[in-house]
Amino acid sequence: YVIKVIAQTIQLLYTMLKIDQPSYILLQNPPGLPSIAVAWIACLFWRSKLIIDWHNYGYTIMSMNLGRNHLLVQIAKWYEKLFGRLSDYNLCVTNAMKEDLWVNCNIKAVTMYDKPASYFKETPLELQHRLYMKLSILRKSCFCSTESVGWKAERSAFTEVDEKNGHVIKTRGRPALLISSTSWTASVYLSILNSFLSSPDYEQYINEGIKLPSLVCVITGKGPLKDYYNGLINKLHFKHIQICTPWLEAEDYPLLLGSADLGVCLHKSSSGLDLPMKVVDMFGCSLPVCAVYFECLHELVKHDENGLIFRDSNELAEQLKMLFLGFPTLEGKLHNFRKNLRASKQLRWDESWDQTVLPLFGQNE
């Protein structure tokens, strides 16, 4: 750690002192070690203003591996608070973090919520069909139609081309498409995924005669525990649930979000003060979400308005049962959540920046 920090300090300071003189240096934290101190020194040299964009606390992320009482974590916490106070302006991603920065660090911040980029939006049906067919060709079996069709027919598990008029339509009795994203790292929230994957609850509801669709669960992302969980998934023998873990091309991810029926978020904040960007992107696609509870999640997910909040795998299974009852014909809560998201007309990232951050720059003119 010490050698890495010293090397990065020298490299970063050398680079920043070679650039043209800036009026402002905008720094995202984390990572802040050593970049907060280096940016502050560069600002002294250039007589520039330092703006820190607080997305979380670096020491809380470090504590997930080392424990909160570890010496390095305590040093990182002291460092972050000390150098954080030396900034000229501060942005943060939640009101909870804004309050924490003021109470515990004496840092005054402006809240700028993360917003989705403009390409996160609902995917038109024709584009959905093209995406499903592309993923089917790439041997992503959960996107392939399970019914035998003629050699001319174009059909995926979710869409097909009407042979009469050539229009794309949704297949009858299609499964529900559920999407989640994870970095597959060792953390508490993966235990919820583990419990859900090994739970027969949803299958049992269908076997009891409850009118529920089959589920296609797509879990995107990559990380160190992906192979381990793929091994668990391969041992499962569900009749009504298919699980696949593709690594999607960058341009396909927003298209798949915009095609899905429900998003599931398993993110838990290390500090309890930041919000999951994956949910922000899902809401940009008007995609309702079931998200695991943590302290400030209510600032983004409004329970029973744009999604649902759960605490364990059993509660998640109950929520899926409620949301998908009578799917896709019955217009229940899932439909209402999507309607609320469409009606919310949320700001996009560039609009939010213009409203919240741009006035800060004017203060120095």
Say what the pTM is.
0.87
- Superfamily of segment(s) 125-343: Glycogen Phosphorylase B; (3.40.50.2000)
pLDDT digits 0-9 by tens, 13-70: 999 999 999 999 999 999 998 999 999 999 999 999 999 999 999 999 999 888 999 9
pLDDT digits 0-9 by tens, 246-285: 888 889 999 999 999 999 998 888 888 999 999 999 999 9
Fold of 1-115+349-362: Rossmann fold (3.40.50)
> CATH 3.40.50.2000 spans which residues of the chain?
1-115+349-362, 125-343
Q: What is the CA radius of gyration of the chain?
A: 23
Q: Is 90 exceeded by the pLDDT of residue 224?
A: no
Strands (E), 30-161: 49-54, 89-92, 110-111, 159-161
- Taking CB atoms within 8 Å and a gap of at least 24, the contacts of 1-10 are 1/72, 5/33, 5/34, 8/34, 8/35, 9/34, 9/37, 9/38
